[in-house]
Amino acid sequence: MSRPIYLDAHATTPVDPQVVQAMLPFFTEHFGNPASITHAYGWEAEAAVKSARQRIAAAINATPEEMVFTSGATEANNLAIKGVAEAYFAQGRHLITVQTEHSAVLDPCRYLEALGFEVTYLPVRPDGLIDLAELEAAIRPDTILVSVMAANNEIGVLQPLAEIGQLCCRLRQGSGIPLLHSDAAQALGKLPLDVQAMGIDLMSLTAHKLYGPKGIGALYGRRRQPRVRLAPQLHGGGHERGMRSGTLYTPQIVGFAKAVELALETMTAEAERLQGLRQHLWSQLQPLPAVRLNGHPTRRLPGNLNVSVAGVDGQALLLGLRTIAAVSSGAACSSTSTAPSHVLKALGHSDELAYASLRFGIGRFNTTAEIDRVAKGAIATIQSLRQATDLSGYVR
């Protein structure tokens, strides 16, 4: 039996074959530890890591010294949020984030609340974007960190980061707070990111959402104006300037850099192509009654379509689509739980409507023919579920 069409690019993406090729020599031939300074094996690995670090930093207009490699965006978010809280608690114990953030931001914040920090979780408007005036009103003299994601992993909306950066800069005190952190796991390689122009102090990245390997990511931390202080969360051999101990995972780091480069080379054309496919899918689903788009219609990731289908059972909808398309109703990390998506709830959806939602994540290897097949399958599933509901209503 053939597998369903993969349309879950927000959960993860396949590794691009060119990325695999770049990684392979670093498993076997160039296997050295980049921290081994006494021999050529170490030097080779160190040179590869250095080059990768430069290329990844350049992709967000940062310097190589500002990058700390981590196991992914979850770890980068933890390091940013807990690391700042621990380093700045003498200046303040208040943090601001948004209700629609990834759990890798929300959970460290809840952890800090248990330790005595105070967190404001900003609501979003019905289109998924935050209100800048509400953010400004929430910032207090003791606010040390504002954390707002670049692109949402469920509804794809792009928060007004540059404006948020300007706001944090304007309200910044002599002590350099509040700092601005952004989880850019979904945005890297898909939208232009520039930490200087956008005024971002900390940024979390990951490779596996952009056709790189799983298990590698990075945290950017600004080194000047202001210089961000971070308390390390992993202690040991003092790697990454003491910010994150642990032997560097050379093949993954090489793959991460290659994936970033490939994504940047094709970014504009690929964004247009994905937007076209998204529009193609939406134009077929939109005519169905009571199907609505979640999130801002244009300020969103090019490959993201998230729709709610009123009047059908969410479980049945996913089951019906299971053999046709690999999609989800919410984030992959919470799809094991039965709770409705906190992101859709923040948009004001009822539990039923949140359950009856589909997240399509269109990616690099999807084709128009695939989108057509998925659209057909989705329409047939929705219509048959609605018919069944009508019939059972009729029988009763």
Ligand X SMILES: *Cc1c(COP(=O)(O)O)cnc(C)c1O
Q: Which residue is nearest to ligand X (CB)?
A: 72
Which residue, 183 or 270, has its beta carbon nearer to ligand X? Answer: 183
291: left (phi over 0), alpha (psi -120 to 50) or beta: beta
Q: Do 363 and 43 contact (CB within 8 A), yes or no?
A: no
The residue to which tokens 């921290």 are assigned: 35
- Cβ at position 297, least distance to ligand X in Å: 21
Distance of CA 51 to CAs 14, 58, 93, Å?
A: 24, 11, 38
Instruction: Provide, rounded to whole angstroms, the least separation between the CB of residue 283 and ligand X.
Output: 26
Q: What torsion, rounded to 10 degrees, do the Cα atoms 4, 8, 14, 16 define?
A: 110
**What is the enclosing helix (H) or strand (E) of 180?**
strand 179-183
CB 254 → ligand X: shortest distance, Å? 17
Residues that bind ligand X (CB under 6 A): 72-74, 102, 104, 149, 153, 183, 185-186, 206, 208-209, 217
DSSP 54-89: HHHHHHTT--GGGEEEESSHHHHHHHHHHHHHHHHT
d(CA 244, CA 234): 5
In whole angstroms, what is the distance from residue 252 CA to residue 217 CA? 9
C-alpha 281/C-alpha 373 separation (Å) is 10
What is the smallest separation between the CB atom of 291 and ligand X, expressed in angstroms? Answer: 25
**Which amino acid, 225?**
Q
Q: Calculate the CA dihedral of residues 78, 42, 213, 301 and round it to 10 degrees.
A: 60
How near is the Cβ of 84 to ligand X at its closest, in Å?
Answer: 17
Cα–Cα distance for residue pair 147/168, rounded to 1 Å: 11
- The least distance separating ligand X from the CB of residue 384, rounded to whole angstroms, comes to 32
What sections of the chain are H helices per DSSP? 17-23, 40-59, 73-88, 103-114, 132-138, 161-171, 250-265, 267-285, 314-321, 342-346, 351-355, 368-395
Gap between the Cα atoms of 172 and 292, Å rounded: 40
CB of 59 to ligand X, least distance (A): 16
333 is catalytic: yes
Q: What residues are labeled active site?
A: 333
